[in-house]
Amino acid sequence: MHSVPARRVALTLLAHPDDAEILCAGTLIRLAEAGWEIHIATVANGDCGTTMYSREEIARIRKAEGIAGAACIGATYHCLEEPDLNVVYSKETIRKTLDLFRKVAPTLLFTHPRHDYMIDHEQTHLLARGAAFGYGAPNSSTLPLLAGSAIPWLYYCDPVGATDPYTGEVVTPSTYVDVTAQMERKAEMLACHASQREWLRAHHGMDEYIDAMRRHNADRGSEVGAEFVEAFTMHRGHPFPEHDLLAELFGGHWQTVAP
């Protein structure tokens, strides 16, 4: 068993408002309950998530929803203010991401996997991974380097449907976190994103925003004999930390259940 890091700051860098609530909010709640400082960040402002409002109107609405969702657990919400469907790994977005990391100095980072259903997610993966590696370099940003800044533990959330969109294969996670006790608060966070119910019903044919989230966590839970679980894949490449911090914090060593 390794010691818990002295600096306990968790950051999610995901593509859109509500991604954190769907993918990893249960784990964020557990971290907050354990005394961690929580930051929820999105690259995009959500300006295409509507059939009713202008870009400017829905962006304002979704920012308020992001702030409200984060506030449910005492977290801070950040947005890099890129437009939906335009997230790219570019000099400007790299600069914004590095500056965010300099301000937050995360110990633990959650982002999208390399392969996901939407290119905004995949480009966010690149931004998060690149900043995690490089933000500690003194010349990577003009902002000051906070004491305790270091390459964080990096975990990839499940892709949508828990499947690789290029192969259709189910992703085998490295780490399971039981979030059964946190599900009601997680649902409360997701419910803050009220604007997305109508959007998903119109565009995705879904009218079960919260139920779909619960079902996914129940499916992952069935793999390890728990009611609700969030699943992650840990990044283990050089020079990132190599021991599974989430497993050590939350007892994530499971035996998978045979189908």
Q: What is the pLDDT of residues 111-122, one digit of tens each?
A: 999 999 999 999
Model confidence pLDDT, tens digit, residues 85-94 = 999 999 999 9
Report the C-alpha gap between 14 and 41 in whole angstroms: 6
Residues 210-245 have pLDDT tens digits of 888 999 999 999 999 999 999 999 999 999 999 999
* 143, containing H or E segment: none
The per-residue pLDDT for 254 is 63
Q: What was the pLDDT predicted at 51?
A: 81
pLDDT score for 199: 65
pTM for the structure as a whole? 0.95
Nearest to 110 by CA among 42, 29, 192, 10: 10
Phi and psi angles of residue 218, each rounded to the nearest 5 degrees, phi first: -70, -40
Q: Report helix, strand or coil for 106.
A: coil
Angstrom distance (rounded) from CA 18 to CA 16: 6
Report the alpha-carbon distance of residue 83 to residue 71 in Å, rounded: 23
Mean pLDDT of the chain: 93
Which residue in the block uniquely carries the two structure tokens 């946190």?
A: 182
- State the pLDDT confidence band at 189, using cuts at 50, 70 and 90: very high
**Model pLDDT, residue 210:** 84
Using pLDDT thresholds of 50, 70 and 90, give the confidence band for residue 179.
very high
Question: At 223, is the secondary structure helix, strand, or coil?
Answer: coil
